[in-house]
Amino acid sequence: MASHAIAGHDDGHAHTHYTTTGLDNRKIAIWAFIGSECMLFASLISTYLIYKGKSLVGPYPHTEYTDAAGKVFPAILDIPVTSASTFVLLMSSLAMVLALQAVQLKGVPLPANAGWWGRAQRSSQLWLFVTALLGATFLGFQAYEFTAFVREGLTLKTNLFGSTFFTLTGFHGAHVTVGVLWLMSLLWIDRTRGLGPQDELVVDIAALYWHFVDVVWIVIFTLIYLIK
């Protein structure tokens, strides 16, 4: 597959912007952007960890809280729901990488004995759609979680946990939203004029952003949801 992808890649780069390193400046830019995003999320994660356990009033993430009036607030984090949304986001990364592979394989003849999987691997529209759908599903889980928390009495202003939790996961959700819109625009381009090997870098850049959003969630899931 790799050799096919390379062949297709070399044919279609009439308008690329190579630097003296031999690398496309757009790909250098997305990696530099991702590097800067690491530091943005590090600041948000640090803030969450510093204030962890310092809330004066509940609801609390992992333990029950009873207020002065005797009202009991159960531990607010819903691990089964978040585990499902984590699985959805992990699978969206698989779909994204398959979308990139499908674009790389465009123009490479399909073997005569190719089965359904072989044909499916060539459909960039299918994998872009699946990725966007899974991303939107993750956002649905997050909307459900946020509204459930507000119903149970946890808002951005309730306590330090609420402030840091909503800020961190809200920033992540905003990144996922941008990613879903980006994927939908790629899907629209694919449906109108078709994405080919000449578009590999465009899809690769979107894929790098999407995978980064996934790895940030991997960290958030462990630090916020699983570590008590």
Partner 1 sequence: MSHESKSTHAAAHAHPTGATYLKVAVILTLITVIEVWAYYIPVLVASPWFNPSLIIMSAAKFAIVVLFYMHLKYDHKLFKALFTGPLIIAGATIVALLFLFAKISL
Could you list the residues that contact partner 1 (CB under 8 A)?
1-2, 5-6, 9-10, 13, 16, 18, 21-24, 27-28, 31-32, 34-36, 38-39, 41-43, 45-46, 49-50, 52, 79, 83, 86-87, 90-91, 93-94, 96-98, 100-101, 104, 117, 121, 200, 207-208, 211-212, 214-215, 218-219, 221-223, 226-228
| DSSP 8-state class, residue 76 | -
Nearer to partner 1, 16 or 153 (CB): 16
Q: How far is the CB of 221 from partner 1 (least distance, A)?
A: 7
φ, ψ at 224 (rounded to 5°): -90, -45
State which amino acid sits at residue 207.
Answer: A
| DSSP 8-state class, residue 66 | E
Nearer to partner 1, 9 or 167 (CB): 9
Distance (Å) of CA 53 to CA 13, 50, 65, 78, 96: 53, 9, 13, 18, 37
Nearer to partner 1, 70 or 109 (CB): 109
Distance between CA atoms of residues 94 and 89, nearest Å: 9
Q: How far is the CB of 223 from partner 1 (least distance, A)?
A: 8
Nearer to partner 1, 43 or 155 (CB): 43
Q: Which helix (H) or strand (E) holds 6?
A: helix 2-11
